[in-house]
Amino acid sequence: MDEEYDVIVLGTGLTECILSGIMSVNGKKVLHMDRNPYYGGESSSITPLEELYKRFELPDSPPESMGRGRDWNVDLIPKFLMANGQLVKMLLYTEVTRYLDFKVVEGSFVYKGGKIYKVPSTETEALASNLMGMFEKRRFRKFLVFVANFDENDPKTFEGVDPKVTTMRDVYKKFDLGQDVIDFTGHALALYRTDDYLDVPCLETINRIKLYSESLARYGKSPYLYPLYGLGELPQGFARLSAIYGGTYMLNKPVEEIVMEDGHVVGVKSEGEVARCKQLICDPSYIQDRVRKAGQVIRVICILSHPIKNTNDANSCQIIIPQNQVNRKSDIYVCMISYAHNVAAQGKYIAIVSTTVETSEPEAEIEPALELLEPIDQKFVSLSDLYEPTDDGTESQIFASSAYDATTHFETTCNDIKDIYKRMTGSDFDFENMKRKQNDVFGEDEQ
Three-state SS letters, 431-443: HHHHHHHHHHHHC
Structural domains of the chain, ranges and CATH numbers in brackets: 2-40+230-290+388-440 (3.50.50.60), 55-104+293-384 (3.30.519.10), 118-217 (1.10.405.10)
What's the whole-model pTM score? 0.89
Residue type, 327: N
**151 C-beta neighbours (distance < 10 Å), count:** 11
Of these ranges, 24-28, 289-293, 341-345, 437-441, the one predicted with the greatest mean pLDDT is 341-345
pLDDT digits (tens, 9 = 90+) for 348-406: 999 999 999 999 999 999 999 999 999 999 999 999 999 989 999 999 999 999 988 88
pLDDT at 436: 56
- In sequence order, the β-bridge partners of residue 333 are 320, 354
For 169-202, the DSSP string reads HHHHHHTT--HHHHHHIIIIIS--SSSGGGGSBT
Q: In whole angstroms, how far apart are CA 293 and each of 297, 325, 387?
A: 11, 28, 4
Buried b (16+ CB within 10 A) or exposed e, 172-202: bebbebeebbbbbbbbbbbbbbebebbeebb
For 367-420, the DSSP string reads HHHHHHH-S-SEEEEEEEEEEEES--STTT-EEEPPPP-S-SBSHHHHHHHHHH
Tally DSSP H helices, then E strands, for the chain.
13, 19
Helix axes 411-425, 86-93, angle to 10 degrees: 60
pLDDT digits (tens, 9 = 90+) for 87-140: 998 888 888 888 889 999 999 999 998 999 998 766 677 778 888 888 888 899
Which residues, other chains included, contact 426 with Cβ-Cβ below 8 Å and sequence gap of 6+? none
33-42, 85-94, 248-257, 426-435: range with lowest mean pLDDT: 426-435
Q: In whole angstroms, how far apart are CA 108 and each of 100, 224, 293, 387?
A: 23, 9, 31, 29
